[in-house]
Amino acid sequence: MAATPENGTVDISAEAVVVDDAVSFGFERKEMYTEKLSGSVHPYERHVFLCYKTHEDWPARVESSDSDLLPKRLAGAIKERKNDIAVKTLLTICEGGDATGLSDGDVMIFPDMIKYSGLEESNIDTFVEEVLVNGKPWTSGPQEAVTVTGSYVFVCAHNSRDKRCGVCGPALIEKFNEEIEVRALKDEVLVSPCSHVGGHKYAGNLIIYSSVEDGKVSGHWYGYVTPGDVAELLDLHIKKGEIIERIWRGEMGVPPVEKADKAVEETLPNGNGLKKDEISNGKETIQNTGGCCKGTNGLSCCQDETPGVKKSSFKNLNLFTKKWEQHEMFTAAAIVGALATVAVGYSLYKSYKKHSIWCVTIKGGNLAS
């Protein structure tokens, strides 16, 4: 309990502040899991990360701050040349320093999986021209590009921009580093704080870039991430390449609609099992996708054994039968009509023929008196 000073005021302890932050801005806030995550990432094809100071140092608008000229001028140069840059490119600030193994002025580019060092205000224009506009190596730079390997986890911890990210981000980074240490993944997984990536309301927010099959690189965004999700992200997403659907926001290079269609296609292999569907009110709900194949959100390529689905099938069959019967009726009517026309025509033909014979007989003088 907080101590009460002699003047009668209540001392707000550090513990009380931490509890209040967790409820108001952290993983216990009411808005957690209240909105759909999938499709909340705008399409893009390249992501540039500039290493610059620490997340505690970044102002709210670090890319436009007059006191932080390196990120400001890089952002300005990219914006100025956006019509010349062939692919949609994002710029985010990440943290340099011993904790990440990165230095101020390092630039990491995904999906290229390369790192340049030595970016300064004086060489920004040549970097943008050669690398981002022309898609070539930075030959005029101070150092050649270095290929990076492994997985990179960028966690939004931009406290000055939004306190939700400021509360959730550092807690996630700490948990990631703990789990990485336990799994001896320090040389395979790098975790770094990053600036605003969009969607503060989805905090904790993070992006994972990893090499996948055939030399391709994936970039997946997650939201509503809690420390309890970290082990799963390491064991399933990073180790096995499996997407954690319930907290997945989107990915690099794939528009939301295309990804939704792709997800349906990829979740229809044969097999039985239980699938984690989504979190409702902070609790996981388990959905049975059993049968001959797995489906998405209750959709399956198999016939469901529930009476409702069977009823729907029979209804479709009845509708088909009715349509077929109606078709047969019209066909029969057409045939009858055709036969009637032939009969009338034949009758007229016989009458005409008989009349013709009668006329010929009169002209021949053989008509009986």
In a 3-state reduction of DSSP, which class is residue 188? coil
| 265-281 pLDDT, tens digit each | 444 333 333 333 433 33
16-261: CATH topology: Glutaredoxin (3.40.30)
Tell me which residue has tokens 């970290």. Answer: 230
SS percent in the chain: helix, strand, coil, step 5: 40, 20, 40
CA atoms within 13 A on the CB side of 364: 9
Distance between alpha carbon 223 and the CA centroid of its chain, in Å?
A: 11
Question: What are the extents of the domains in the chain?
Answer: 16-261, 267-302
| 301-344 pLDDT, tens digit each | 333 333 333 333 333 434 334 444 454 555 556 665 666 665 65
Distance CA 319, CA 322 (A): 5
**Token pair for residue 103?**
């230095």
**Token pair for residue 303?**
């016939």
Percent of the chain with pLDDT over 70: 63
Which residues does 32 contact at the CB level (< 8 Å), separation at least 6?
224, 282
CA atoms within 13 A on the CB side of 297: 8
In a 3-state reduction of DSSP, which class is residue 215? helix
pLDDT at residue 294 above 80? no
- pTM (2 d.p.): 0.67
Which pLDDT does position 366 carry in this prediction? 42
| 342-362 pLDDT, tens digit each | 565 666 555 555 544 434 343
The three-state (H, E, C) secondary structure of 298-344, written as one string? CCCCCCCCCHHHHHHHHHHHHHHHHHHHHHHHHHHHHHHHHHHHHHH
Distance between alpha carbon 176 and the CA centroid of its chain, in Å?
A: 23
Percent of the chain with pLDDT over 90: 58
Is 119 or 366 the better-scoring residue by pLDDT? Answer: 119
Which pLDDT does position 296 carry in this prediction? 37
| 19-34 pLDDT, tens digit each | 688 889 999 999 999 9
Packing angle of the helix pair 14-24, 163-182 (nearest 10 deg): 100
Which pLDDT does position 318 carry in this prediction? 42
The strand pairing partners of 248, in sequence order, are 222
Residue 301, amino acid? C
Q: Between the CA of residue 154 and those of 46, 50, 182, what are the distances in Å?
A: 15, 12, 20
| 167-207 pLDDT, tens digit each | 999 999 999 999 999 999 999 999 999 999 999 999 999 99
Would you place residue 158 in the very low, low, confident or very high pLDDT band (cuts 50, 70, 90)? very high
Distance CA 180, CA 166 (A): 22
Which pLDDT does position 216 carry in this prediction? 87
Cβ neighbour number for residue 48 with a 10 Å cutoff = 21
| 77-132 pLDDT, tens digit each | 999 999 999 999 999 999 988 778 899 999 999 999 999 999 999 999 999 999 99
The strand pairing partners of 152, in sequence order, are 190, 209
Which pLDDT does position 224 carry in this prediction? 98
Strand 107-110 relative to strand 46-51: parallel, antiparallel, unpaired? Answer: antiparallel
Distance CA 26, CA 165 (A): 8
Which pLDDT does position 339 carry in this prediction? 66
Residue 63, phi-psi category: left (phi > 0), alpha (psi -120 to 50), beta (remainder): alpha
Which pLDDT does position 328 carry in this prediction? 53
- Strands of 206-211's sheet, edge to edge? 146-147, 114-116, 107-110, 46-51, 89-94, 189-194, 151-156, 206-211, 217-222, 248-251
Alpha helices in the chain (DSSP H): 14-24, 69-80, 124-127, 163-182, 230-232, 239-240, 256-266, 307-363
Which pLDDT does position 126 carry in this prediction? 97
Phi, psi dihedrals of residue 91, rounded to the nearest 5° = -120, 130
Phi, psi dihedrals of residue 121, rounded to the nearest 5° = -60, -35
pLDDT at residue 262 above 70? no
Mean pLDDT computed over every residue of the chain = 77
Would you place residue 65 in the very low, low, confident or very high pLDDT band (cuts 50, 70, 90)? very high
Dihedral sign (CA 54, 59, 60, 61): negative
Which pLDDT does position 344 carry in this prediction? 59
